[in-house]
Amino acid sequence: MEKTYTLSDTLNREQKEAVLHTEGPLLILAGAGTGKTRVLTNRIAWLIEQGVSPRHILAITFTNKAADEMRERVGRLVGAGSDQIWVSTFHSSCARILRRYADRIGYQNNFSIYDTDDSKSVIKEIIKKWNLDTKVYKDRTFLAKISSFKNHLVDTEDCMELAGSDVDEIMTARVYKEYEAQLKKSNAMDFDDLLLNTVRLFQTDAQVLEQYQERFRYIHIDEYQDTNKVQFVFVRLLAAKYHNLCVVGDDDQSIYRFRGADISNILDFEKYFPEAKTIRLEQNYRSTSNILDAANAVIANNRARKKKHLWTDQGTGEKIACYSAQTAYDEAEHIIEDIRKKMRTEGRKYSDFAILYRTNAQSRIFEEKCIGANIPYQLIGGVNFYARKEIKDMLAYLKTINNGMDDIAARRIINVPKRGIGQASIDKIAQHAFENDITFFDAAVRADQIVGLQRAAARIASFTEPFFKWRSCLDYLKLSEIFDDILETTGYRAELEAEQTEEAAERLQNLEELRNKIVSYEESAETPTLNGFLQEVALVAEIDSLESHSDYVVLMTLHGAKGLEFPVVYISGMEEGVFPGMLAIYSGDEGEIEEERRLCYVGITRAREELMLSWSRLRMVRGEQMYQKTSRFLEEIPKELFQPGAFEHQEKKRISFEDNSYTDAKASFASNAFAGMKKASAFTKAPLDYTTGDRVSHMKFGPGTVTAIQDGGRDYEVTVDFDRFGVKHMFAGFAKLKKQE
């Protein structure tokens, strides 16, 4: 017997209204934990029950997992026919369309789809063919910029025009054009092309567009706040005929700006669809009212948002706990001890707890404390701190200084960063070491005596020679100073800085955290030695032997926590410069701060029953203990929502922005991000090659005009009116503005 759908009595009033409103544009503002997936699936089922053919329904999500879950839930509701609903991701939908009609835009329908590695290979070939300096021009940097251009519908001709007279931007435009030519020649598209080329197909072929407009008369888009420009245009074109477009999202949870997400898509929905109906889902089924009130209080400070107020009928719940630690180590110890206490007194499981933080680098201390306390944990969305590539690379350098017999370490770094030492040369060194019963490093020292390596001998010597200097320095230099020199001499740091990508910035943060670990060891060890440090790290880093548990404490970034929920949540590092981060504070862009505030909102609403916010009065920054000001987000929460006496253990004197240590840290960061991890007091500002009225270019905001320059003592504060992004205030040392001739 064919299954029929009956509207559920468990839907609340707003949910039912969203399900029943089937004609015309609909914006469902679904706050955290308000049951948006339930609404979407019930709405699709209701459409089918009202006689709409499943073939005319499209539902787009952002992950294959979410698409599978939606398809399964709709199937349970309506039974037969649900398999005809087109439920998929943006990329899968576009690939399916292009498989039929790619020939109409100059491709063959059997085109290849290039993944990131394939795309990097194409870029690398271009760099090699044009003899570009790989220390200046990075494949990752080119690829990131090209992806951004495609997501903003900027083609190669527009890119060249936008480059103006900027030499680096002109080179990017040239590489972009050549990259596109190579893909076209290979009948290939990258992931960004799947969306971009589908939009081009729709814009140039009215027949194809009308076919899909007829096919998809009812369109549903989940997580609409995370869409970018090209996705917005794709959706708008599809919905242009029938206007039966239902988008579901929460502008307060838009946290992927760095990936190209454009919050204006959801904020301006009514602008593009004036007849749209807006329904707010505000009843939360996840958290207690104390937690929701805190989240509401924080997010209310954002200006770029659609007002909504989460509420629940699940009770007031526990007041929010907070903890002011003296140091980051104290903070981590307190959280771990609190977990152990709740395990004893509340009968909790390890899986009830999640420790959230702003950056992956912050995980290191929590990992160490969990291991020391024998607490099973799982690092979600990241790699164990000591297993990250950049950390293993630097430890390999330190191991080779300490022990030249460690062949694994020496082989790992002989061409890291790249020195032009190929695998054939490495194999010859290894063979010579084997035949002469010597270490790989000693064989590398003799490279000029090995047959077939004479031409590569100088490059190999550039690897081996610094080790003799570093070993001789062990008696009179600190380990942290040797670490700094490794980064400087090898060019490892400079290579990452030149990439100018999110990934490179995070790797630099991780290297800074490793230096913090070295400094902490130097301060705590009675007689600090390189051997002692490596032994301590080895004991902490050896977590592979931990028994596998399904019951474990979760460690993850706030970005990674989106969509998840836990009974007990700890948000650590609630300090200015950590959360919100320095990049946001000194970007001169209020949108960056609002994005950080949305991230705080996401973190708070992950908690179901208990929430603790913690911060450190002192945090090690580039090897120095710096006074920290409590996060503005913490101060935006009404004090009555916190446990009694929550702030009494803090010192009466509040750390201000004028505190010398904080000011030095601010100036050091503003002068040059990750600049050699030097002491803040060593900072000296560089003279400017531009003045008021000059045209300049910024790597993110593009061209603009300098309207004001103020001497701030340690750096210049520059005001620029950018052509596309308006007025921004920024520190000159951080902004790295380039004068346009």
**DSSP one-letter string for 256-324:** -GGGT--THHHHTHHHH-TT-EEEEE-B-SSS-HHHHHHHHHHHTT-SSS-----B-SS---PPBEEEE
Q: Of 558, 254, 609, 589, nearest to 381 (Cα)?
A: 558
**Helix 206-215 with 90-101: angle, nearest 10 deg:** 130
The band of 549, judged by pLDDT with boundaries at 50, 70 and 90, is low
Q: pLDDT band at residue 501, thresholds of 50, 70 and 90?
A: confident
Please name which of 245, 229, 236 lies closest in space to residue 203, comparing C-alpha atoms: 236
Our answer to whether residue 231 is catalytic in this structure is: no
What does pTM read for this prediction? 0.74
Considering the candidates 16, 597, 606, 728, report the single residue annotated as catalytic. 606
pLDDT of residue 712: 61
From the list 192, 193, 223, 512, the catalytic residue is: 223
Q: Which one from 16, 36, 38, 145 is the annotated catalytic residue? A: 36
| All residues at 6 or more sequence positions from 336 whose CB lies less than 8 Å from its CB, including other chains | 366, 369, 370, 373, 375
Q: Which of 22, 37, 705, 719 is catalytic?
A: 37
Identify residue 415 by its one-letter amino acid code: N
pLDDT digits (tens, 9 = 90+) for 629-651: 999 999 999 999 999 877 665 54
Would you state the torsion angle of the CA atoms of residues 417, 386, 469, 498, taken in this order, to the nearest 10 degrees?
A: 30
More confident residue, 406 or 189: 189
pLDDT at 550: 75
Rounded mean pLDDT, 601-610: 97
Q: Report the pLDDT value the prediction gives residue 177, as an integer from 0 to 100.
A: 95
Query: Distance (Å, rounded) from C-alpha 469 to C-alpha 486?
Result: 11
> If you ran DSSP here, which 8-state letter would residue 164 be given?
T
Dump pLDDT digits (tens) for 91-107.
889 989 998 999 999 99
H helices of 328-380, where? 328-345, 363-372
What SS3 state is found at 43? helix
Q: What is the 3-state secondary structure (H, E, C) of 658-717?
A: CCHHHHHHHHHHHHCCCCCCCCHHHCCCCCCCCCCCCEEEECCCEEEEEEEEEECCCCEE
For 25, the 3-state DSSP assignment is coil
**Is the pLDDT assigned to residue 189 strictly greater than 50?**
yes
The total of other beta-carbon atoms located within 10 Å of residue 739's CB is: 15
pLDDT at 543: 39
Question: What pLDDT does 685 receive?
Answer: 58
Note if 222 is an active site residue.
yes
- What is the tens place of the pLDDT at every residue in 340-380? 999 999 999 999 999 999 998 899 999 999 988 999 998 88
Q: Of the ranges 380-384, 409-413, 467-471, 624-628, which one carries the lowest mean pLDDT score?
A: 380-384
Q: Is residue 386 scored above 90 in pLDDT?
A: no
pLDDT digits (tens, 9 = 90+) for 711-722: 765 567 788 888
Give the span between the Cα atoms of 109 and 111, in whole angstroms: 5
Paired residues of 88 in beta bridges: 60
pLDDT at 27 over 80: yes
pLDDT in tens, 261-282: 999 999 999 999 999 999 999 9
234: which 2 tokens?
């794709």
User: What six digits make up the tokens of 220?
Assistant: 């549903």
pLDDT tens digits, 655-708: 333 344 334 444 444 433 333 333 333 334 578 889 999 998 887 677 889 998
Task: Tell me the C-alpha distance between 719 and 404, whole Å.
Answer: 52
Q: Note the pLDDT tens digit of each residue in 212-240.
A: 999 999 999 999 999 999 999 999 999 99
- Helix count and strand count (H, E) for the chain: 30, 21
CA distance 718 to 698: 12
410 burial level (CB within 10 Å; 0-12, 13-18, 19+): buried
Catalytic residue among 253, 288, 400, 509: 253
**What pLDDT does residue 714 have?**
56
200 assigned to active site: no
Report whether pLDDT(521) > 90: no
Q: Is 407 a catalytic residue?
A: no
pLDDT digits (tens, 9 = 90+) for 129-146: 999 988 788 888 999 999
Residue 483 has pLDDT above 70, yes or no: yes
What value does the mean pLDDT take over residues 196-210? Answer: 97
Q: Residues of the chain with pLDDT > 70: what percent?
A: 90
CA angle 359/361/365 to nearest 5° reads 120
Between 123 and 111, the more confident residue is 123
* pLDDT of amino acid 540: 63
pLDDT over 50 (residue 301): yes
Predicted local distance difference test score (pLDDT) of residue 542:
45
Active-site residue, selected from the candidate residues 14, 169, 192, 222: 222
Amino acid at 429: I
| CB atoms near residue 415 (< 10 Å) | 17
pLDDT at 670: 41
pLDDT at position 30, please?
96
Give the C-alpha separation, 146 to 28, whole Å. Answer: 33
One DSSP character per residue, 511-571 reads HHHHHHHHHHHHHH-SS--HHHHHHHHHHHH--TTSPP-SS-EEEEETTTTTT--EEEEEE
**Residue 539: pLDDT band by 50, 70, 90 thresholds?**
low
What's the chain's average pLDDT? 87
Q: Which tokens is 523 given? A: 């301060």
Q: Give the mean model confidence (pLDDT) for residues 390-407.
A: 88
| Nearest-angstrom CA–CA distance, 419 and 518 | 27
- Length reported for the chain: 741
Separation of alpha carbons 181 and 179, rounded Å? 5
Q: What is the pLDDT of residues 43-62, one digit of tens each?
A: 999 999 899 999 999 999 88
Mean pLDDT check: name the lowest of 19-33, 84-98, 223-237, 600-614.
Answer: 84-98
Question: Would residue 36 show up in a list of annotated catalytic residues for this protein?
Answer: yes
Among the listed residues 320, 202, 214, the one whose alpha carbon sits nearest the alpha carbon of residue 571: 320
Task: In whole angstroms, give the CA distance from residue 242 to residue 413.
Answer: 60
Cβ–Cβ < 8 Å for 182, 217 = no
Q: Is 606 a catalytic residue?
A: yes
d(CA 126, CA 143): 12
CA torsion angle 140 145 148 150 (round to 10): -100
